[in-house]
Amino acid sequence: MKVDVPVDAAVVAFGAATWIVSETLAKDALAPDTCRWCDRDAAGVDTLNAVDRAGRALRWGEGEKTADTLSNIGAFGLLPLSAIGLDAMLTHQSGDVRRSIEDLLIVSETATLAAVLNQAIKFAVGRERPFVHALPPEQRPFTEHPSDNNLSFYSGHASFVFSIAVATGVVAEQRGYPHAWLVWAVGMPLAATTAYLRIGADKHYLTDVVTGAVIGSAFGVGIPLLFHPRVDEAAPVNEGLEARIVPTGTGAALVGRF
C-alpha cells in the first residue's frame, strides 16, 4: 500500500490537534447556546419524527449513565485496542511486522479526519440531545455539561468506531492478509454495540447514530482505498481491494477491484 509516513503523520497530528482543541478549549465558544434543530415548532410543540421517537424506547432509563460509560469504554478502549491487536497479529503472520505501523497510521488518519468532520457538522447543525429535549425548558441550562446540550447530530462515537473498524478491515483486505475476516468479525459487532449504547444512554437519537455509522464507514472505505492504493508488494496472499481515481477525456473516474 502507498504510505507517505511524514505526510500521513502530519495529517493525523493536524486532525487530532483540531479535534482536541475544538473539544476541550474552544467548545464553549463553538457550540451553539440554543438548539438550531430543536424537534419542536415555534409554539414549543414536540415535532420529533416517528423513527427517533420509537428509537428512544431503546434507552436504558435508570441505567443511562452505565450505558454512557460502557460506550466510552467501547469507543476509546476496546475497539481501538482490538483493532491494533488484530492488525499486529495479522502483520506478524504476514512476515512483515513493519506494516503494522503503516496500517496504524492509515487507520488513525481515517479516524481523525472523520472526527474533524463530525465536530464541524455538530457545531453547525446544533441538534438538541434527546435527554435535553425531554427536560422542561427551565432545566435545560443546568445540565452537567451545558455546552454539550445541542451537539446530538451526528454521533461522534458511532462515526469514530465505524471509521476504525471499517478502515482496519479494508486495510487488511488490501494487504491480502489471509485472516482478514477476523477484523470484521470482531470490529463490526463492537462498533455496532458501542453505537447502540449511545441510544441507550439517551445521548443520541437513532438517526444520529445511523448517520454516524454510515459516514464513519464511508471514511473507513474511502481513505484507505483512494489515498492508500495497493502497490506491487511481495507475495500478496490474495488480490485484496483496490480503488483509484484516474483522469479521463472529460474529467476523472473511479476504478477499482472489489
* DSSP calls for 156-199: HHHHHHHHHHHHHHHHHHHHT-TTTHHHHHHHHHHHHHHHHHHH
pLDDT score of 186: 97
25 within domain boundaries: no
Whether the per-residue pLDDT at 45 is higher than 50: the answer is yes
Percent of the chain with pLDDT over 90: 84
Q: How confident is the model at residue 94 (pLDDT cuts 50, 70, 90)?
A: confident
CA distances (Å), origin 146, targets 9, 75, 228, 248: 34, 22, 40, 51
123-150: pLDDT as tens digits: 999 999 999 999 999 999 999 999 999 9
42 within domain boundaries: no
30 within domain boundaries: no
pLDDT score of 235: 42
**Cα–Cα dist 68/200, whole Å:** 8
Decide which of 160 and 93 is more confident.
160
Whether the per-residue pLDDT at 85 is higher than 70: the answer is yes
224-255: pLDDT as tens digits: 999 999 876 554 444 455 555 555 555 555 55
pLDDT score of 110: 98
Residue (of 37, 50, 38) closest to 206 by Cα position:
50
159-169: pLDDT as tens digits: 999 999 999 99
What is the overall mean pLDDT for the chain? 91
131 within domain boundaries: yes
6 within domain boundaries: no
CB-CB contact of 27 with 126 (8 Å): no
pLDDT score of 42: 87
Amino acid 210 reads V
167-187: pLDDT as tens digits: 999 999 999 999 999 999 999
pTM exceeds 0.85, yes or no: yes
132 within domain boundaries: yes
Q: How confident is the model at residue 257 (pLDDT cuts 50, 70, 90)?
A: low
Decide which of 253 and 98 is more confident.
98
- Structural domains counted in the chain: 1
208 within domain boundaries: yes
CB-CB contact of 164 with 172 (8 Å): no
**Residue-range definition of the domain harbouring residue 94:** 64-136+148-257
**CATH number reported for the structural domain that contains residue 156 in this entry:** 1.20.144
Q: How many CA atoms lie within 13 A of 45 on its CB side?
A: 4
Q: Average pLDDT in the 45-52 region?
A: 96
38 within domain boundaries: no
